[in-house]
Structure 1
Amino acid sequence: MSFCWLLALLLGSVELYRARECDVFTDLNLHHSIIGTDLYVKLLLYTRASVTCGQELSHHNLSAHPQFNITKPTTFIIHGYRPTGSPPNWIKNLTQELLVRRDMNVLVVDWNRGATTIYYPKAVSNTRDVADNLTALIENMERNGGSLSSIHMIGISLGAHISGFVGAKFSGKIGRITALDPAGPMFTGKSSEERLDPTDAQFVDAIHTDIDVSYVHCVLPAWGFRKPVGHIDFYPNGGADQPGCPKTILGGSQYFKCEHQRAVYLYLDSMKRTCTSRAFPCSSYNDFLGGRCLDCNTYGPIGCPVFGYEIIQWKKYLVPETMAYFTTNKKSPFCKTNYKLDIVIWNHDTLRGYITISLHNGSEVTNATTNHKANTFQKYKENSLLVQFDKDLQNVQKISIKFSKGNTLHFKYKLRVLRLRLTHLERKDSPLCRYDILLEDNKEVTFRPIPCEESNF
C-alpha cells in the first residue's frame, strides 16, 4: 500500500510540474523563412493568475483549462508577417498591460508557422486559414456560454485583416477590433469583403503609421494601409514619417520596419497612462496642423477622442471612417501637449512666416514650432495656430517667442503683435496672454504672461 501511495504522489508531482511549465511563442529563424513553414496556429492563454506564464489552449476542449473563464472578456492578440521568424518583442508587454487594465483572458495567437516566409503572398494566403481556425474556436466559446460582444481582437498588420475576416463570419457581432497599422500590400484596392472594414465588429478602431511611399518603396511598398478601415482611424504624424525612425536605408533593418511597428509602441504607450494623445478629427493632416480642427464640442463632455485603449468611450459620438490626427515625440513618452495660439497683429502689410514658441517654468523648457507651412498674418485679423510641445509644463512662468520669415534674401520684417493668447487644450487653466509685442525677424523675445483681458477676445 505504501508503494502505491508513493507512486501516486510521484505521478501527482509530475503532473503538477507539467502544469507549471510555460508554453512559449514559436521561435524560428531566417532558415525557416527561406525554406518556408506549414501553417500551425497555437493559442497561448494568459490571465491574472498567470501573467507571465502562457498555457497552450486546446481549440476543442476548453474545459481542459480551468484558468480559461468563459464568462470573462477575452482579448486576442494577432501578430502579422514575420520575415525573420523571431517572436515579436512587444508581445509580453502588451499582454501584461492588458491584464493590468482588466481581469480577462488574453489569447496570443501564435501563427508564426505560416507567417514566417520570405514570400509575403504565402503569408497573406494563410490569413484566411488562421481566421477559419479562430472562427471555430469562438464558435466553441459561444456554445459554452461565451459572449461575442465581450471579445476584443487586436490585430497587427496582417493580424488586422485576420480580425476582420473573423468578425465578418459573425456578422459584425464581435465587440471590438483594434487594427495596429493594418497591412497594405495585397489589400490596398480590395473590396471591403477582402479586408478589414467598419462592419466587421460593433466597434473598429485603427491606427496608421506607415502609409508613405519612398524611393525604396517603389520596390517594397509601405507596409501600412492608407484608407480608413474603422469607426475611427488615427493618423499620428499624418500616418507617415514617424519621428525617430530612420529616413534612409543607412538605418539598416529599422528603415523597413520602424514606422510599421510604431503603431504597436504608440498603443502600448497609451496604455501606461503617463500622458495622453488627444487626437483631432479632421479632413486632412494639413488642416489639422493649420489649427482648423480644434473644435471638440461635437464629441460631448469628454471632448475630442484620446488615442488608445480607452477610445471605446467615444463610440457613440463617432461615425464610420472618422479620421483623427495627432503628432508625437521621437520616443516614449510619445504624447505631445496641445495649445492654441491666437495672434492679432497691427502691421499695415500682410506678412508670412513661422512662429517658434517656448514655455519656461523655472527649471524646465519645452518648445514648439509651426513649421509645416508659412502662416499668413493680416492687420487686426485673429490668426489661430495649433502649437504642440514635447512635454506638459505646470506653472508656466515665462514665454519665449520668435517670428521668422524663413527667407534670408529679403528685408527683415518686424511683426507688431497687438495681442497674443495661449490656451491649453487639455487642462482648464486660464489662458496666458501678452499685449503689444514687437517681434523682429529671427530674434527671440521672452516675457512673463499676464491674465487675459477677456473683453478683448
Structure 2
Amino acid sequence: MSLVKILCCLLITYHLCEGRKIKGNRAVCLCSVTSESDFLKVQEPYVSSTVFRLFVEGEDTCTLDSPQLHALTACGFNSSNPLIIITHGWSVDGMMESWVLRLASTVKKNLVDINVIIVDWLSLAHQHYPIAVQSTRTVGKDIAHLLQSLKELQYPVRKAHLIGYSLGAHISGFAGSFLEGSEKIGRITGLDPAGPLFEGMSPTDRLSPDDAEFVDAIHTFTHERMGLSVGIKQAVAHYDFYPNGGDFQPGCDLQNIYEHIAQYGLLGFEQTVKCAHERSVHLFIDSLLNKDKQSTAYRCSDNSAFDKGVCLDCRKNRCNILGYNINKVRTGTSKKLYLKTRPRMPYKLYHYQFRIQFVNQTERIEPSLTISLTGTKEESGDLHITLPEKISINKTYTFLITLDKDLGELMMLKFQWEGSVLWKNVWNRVQTIIPWGGRMRKPQLTVGRISVKAGETQERTSFCAMENDVQHVEVSEEKVFVRCTDSAPKQRRRKHN
C-alpha cells in the first residue's frame, strides 16, 4: 500500500473521531487497513438504551458504565459466580416496582455466591403499552450485548439465569435469540409473561423454549377480558406452571383490598389491581425463602381435569417443583403443570386425590359429603365435599382436595353423608306427622373402597369399612373407615376417562 493511501486513511479517521467528539461521544474509533482490500473499517461503538445495575446489598446498586472487566470488577462482579439478570415489565408511573429489589435481595441472601444485575429500561417502559412492546427487542439486544461482552471476557453465558416479569419475560427471550454463537443462556424464567400483542405469536416473536438451554414460566393472571388477558395463556417454555388454573389467584379479589391497604398504605388499591399478575414474582420468591415448603405441580391436560384429581402423577417427569429449585429436565414439547396454592406466603398446599366407590345405588342421591383424615402427623379436620353430579349406581368418583399441612402416613378416614337440606326437612316433617314413619327405610349410600393418593409422596392408601366389605351410610350418619389390611402405601396406576 502506498504512503499516500495510509496518510489518507489516518486523515479520514482523525476527522471522523473529531466529529464524534463534537457530539459529546466518548467512543473509541478504530481503523484497520489491509493490503488486499485497501478499505477503511470503522467499528462503531454499541450504544445501549438500557441501564444495568449490579445489586450489592440492601437497596444499594452499582451502575455499570460499560461491560468492560474493569467496570464489572469495580462494582464487585465475581466472575467465579453464576449470574442472575432481573428484568421488570411495563411501567405506568415510571418508577421501579418494589418487588425488583425484594427479589434481588432474596436471591443475594439465599444463594450468597451470586452476581445479580437489575435491568433498568424505565425510560422505554414508561410509554403507551404498544410503544413499550416495540422496545422489548431493543432491550433484549442490550442484554445480549452485555452477555456477549461477558463471553469475550471468558465468562460462559450458560452461567446466566434471566428472570423477566411480564414484558421482561419476552425481553429475556429476545436476549437469548439475539445472542451470537452456538452457546445458549443457561436458563430463562418468565414470570407471568405479558399476553397482549404476544398471545398467538410465533416463537420468534415471544419467549420460547429455544431461547435458552432451559426455560420455565409461571402463569398467574390469564383471566380474559374483552378477548385479552394480562398474562399469556399459551405455553412458552419447557415447563409452564399454572397455579390455581393460571387465570386468577386466591387473595386477589376486591374484598381483599382492605388487607392490601393495611399492608401497602395508599398503594393498596394498586396492589389489588396487579395482585394476580405479580403473584408470579412472589411465588418465585417463596421458593427461595421457604426451602422446606417447595410447591409441587403436576402435568395435566387442563385445570378442569386437575380439579378432578386425576393428574397427581410424578412418573416420567410428570411433576416438578415450582420456582428456583425446579428440576431442569429439557423436553421436546412444552409441559403444562397445575397446582393449588394458599392466598399468602408460604404458598404451599398438599394435594390429595380421593377415589370413592359407590355400589348398588338404586337412585340418584345428593352428593354433599363431609370427610376427615387422620395421619401419623396431623388431622385434616372436616372437609366438605360437593361432587359436581348426583351419585348414581356402581360408579367411582374422583376429586381433589388440598391441605396446608402434611398429614404424614394416612391411618383413618371418617365419612359422613350430609344429604340435602330439603330431604332433611321432609324427613323431619314425616316423623312429626306420622309417628310410625320412623320405620320407613331411609335412603342410604352404599360405599365400597375409598382410596387416597398423596401427590407429594406419591403414596396411595386404601380404606375399608371396619366390619364389612361395604358400608351403608344414612343421612347425617358418620362412619369410620380404616386402612385396608392389604394396603401398604404404594403407587398405583389407574386409567381415567
Bin the TM-score by the shorter chain.
Answer: 0.7 to 0.9
Identify which range, 421-430 or 201-210, moves more after superposition. 421-430
* Aligned equivalent of 1:120: 129
Contact kept in structure 1, 2:417 and 2:478, CA below 8 Å? no
* Aligned equivalent of 1:306: 321
* Aligned equivalent of 1:139: 148
Say which of 392, 410, 424 aligns to 2:454.
424
* Aligned equivalent of 1:329: 342
Contact kept in structure 2, 1:232 and 1:319, CA below 8 Å? no
Tell me, yes or no, if structure 1 residue 259 matches structure 2 residue 276: yes
How many residues end up aligned between the 2 structures?
Answer: 404
User: SS where residue 164 of structure 2 aligns?
Assistant: strand
Say which of 151, 156, 164 aligns to 2:165.
156
> Partner letter of residue 88 of structure 2?
H
Cα distance change, pair 157–136 in 1 and its aligned pair in 2 (3 A): same
Please give the per-residue CA displacement for 1:392-413, whole angstroms capped at 9, x wherever unaligned: 2357776444445678589895
Residues in 2 aligned to 1:440 and 1:86: alpha-carbon distance in whole angstroms: 62
Cα distance change, pair 377–57 in 1 and its aligned pair in 2 (3 A): farther
- How many angstroms does 1:254 deviate by? 4.0
Please give the per-residue CA displacement for 1:107-141, whole angstroms capped at 9, x wherever unaligned: 11122222223x21122122122112111111100
Contact kept in structure 1, 2:161 and 2:185, CA below 8 Å? yes
Contact kept in structure 2, 1:156 and 1:180, CA below 8 Å? yes
Map 1:232-311 onto structure 2 (within 5 A): 232-246=239-253, 252-272=269-289, 273-299=291-317, 304-311=319-326
* Aligned equivalent of 2:25: none
Contact kept in structure 2, 1:128 and 1:162, CA below 8 Å? yes
Tell me, yes or no, if structure 1 residue 386 matches structure 2 residue 386: no
Say which of 103, 107, 115 aligns to 2:113.
103
* Aligned equivalent of 2:212: 201
Please give the per-residue CA displacement for 1:271-299, whole angstroms capped at 9, x wherever unaligned: 22241221110111111111222232222
Identify which range, 404-413 or 264-273, moves more after superposition. 404-413
Tell me, yes or no, if structure 1 residue 177 matches structure 2 residue 188: yes
> Partner letter of residue 433 of structure 1?
F
Tell me, yes or no, if structure 1 residue 88 matches structure 2 residue 97: yes
> Partner letter of residue 451 of structure 2?
R
Contact kept in structure 1, 2:240 and 2:337, CA below 8 Å? yes
User: SS where residue 341 of structure 1 aligns?
Assistant: strand
> Partner letter of residue 217 of structure 2?
A
TM-score for both structures, normalised by structure 1: 0.78
Please give the per-residue CA displacement for 1:48-79, whole angstroms capped at 9, x wherever unaligned: xx465321123332322322122321110111
- How many angstroms does 1:310 deviate by? 1.5
Percent of counterpart pairs with the same letter?
32
Residues in 2 aligned to 1:76 and 1:97: alpha-carbon distance in whole angstroms: 13
User: SS where residue 238 of structure 1 aligns?
Assistant: coil
Gaps in structure 1 of 5+ consecutive residues: 1-38
> Partner letter of residue 114 of structure 1?
L
Residues in 2 aligned to 1:375 and 1:182: alpha-carbon distance in whole angstroms: 40
* Aligned equivalent of 2:200: 189
Cα distance change, pair 147–444 in 1 and its aligned pair in 2 (3 A): farther
Map 1:28-43 onto structure 2 (within 5 A): 41-43=50-52
- How many angstroms does 1:194 deviate by? 1.1
Tell me, yes or no, if structure 1 residue 445 matches structure 2 residue 478: yes
Identify which range, 336-345 or 387-396, moves more after superposition. 387-396
- How many angstroms does 1:212 deviate by? 1.1
- How many angstroms does 1:185 deviate by? 0.9
User: SS where residue 266 of structure 1 aligns?
Assistant: helix
- How many angstroms does 1:382 deviate by? 4.1
Cα distance change, pair 54–222 in 1 and its aligned pair in 2 (3 A): same
* Aligned equivalent of 2:445: 415
Contact kept in structure 2, 1:341 and 1:420, CA below 8 Å? yes
Please give the per-residue CA displacement for 1:309-330, whole angstroms capped at 9, x wherever unaligned: 111x2415x4421111111111
Map 1:6-21 onto structure 2 (within 5 A): none
Coordinate RMSD, CA, aligned? 3.2
Contact kept in structure 2, 1:401 and 1:445, CA below 8 Å? yes
> Partner letter of residue 319 of structure 2?
C
Say which of 350, 358, 361 aligns to 1:348.
361
* Aligned equivalent of 1:454: 486
Residues in 2 aligned to 1:385 and 1:114: alpha-carbon distance in whole angstroms: 48
Residues in 1 aligned to 2:88 and 2:323: alpha-carbon distance in whole angstroms: 18
Residues in 2 aligned to 1:158 and 1:267: alpha-carbon distance in whole angstroms: 17
Residues in 2 aligned to 1:332 and 1:375: alpha-carbon distance in whole angstroms: 36
Residues in 1 aligned to 2:162 and 2:387: alpha-carbon distance in whole angstroms: 36
Residues in 2 aligned to 1:400 and 1:198: alpha-carbon distance in whole angstroms: 46
Cα distance change, pair 116–358 in 1 and its aligned pair in 2 (3 A): farther
> Partner letter of residue 194 of structure 1?
D
Contact kept in structure 2, 1:281 and 1:322, CA below 8 Å? yes
Identify which range, 267-276 or 409-418, moves more after superposition. 409-418
Residues in 2 aligned to 1:363 and 1:249: alpha-carbon distance in whole angstroms: 30
Contact kept in structure 1, 2:169 and 2:207, CA below 8 Å? yes
Contact kept in structure 2, 1:172 and 1:199, CA below 8 Å? no
Tell me, yes or no, if structure 1 residue 231 matches structure 2 residue 242: no
- How many angstroms does 1:342 deviate by? 2.6
Map 1:358-373 onto structure 2 (within 5 A): 358-359=372-373, 365-366=380-381, 368=383, 370=385, 373=388
Cα distance change, pair 400–451 in 1 and its aligned pair in 2 (3 A): closer
Gaps in structure 2 of 5+ consecutive residues: 1-47, 259-268, 428-442, 493-497
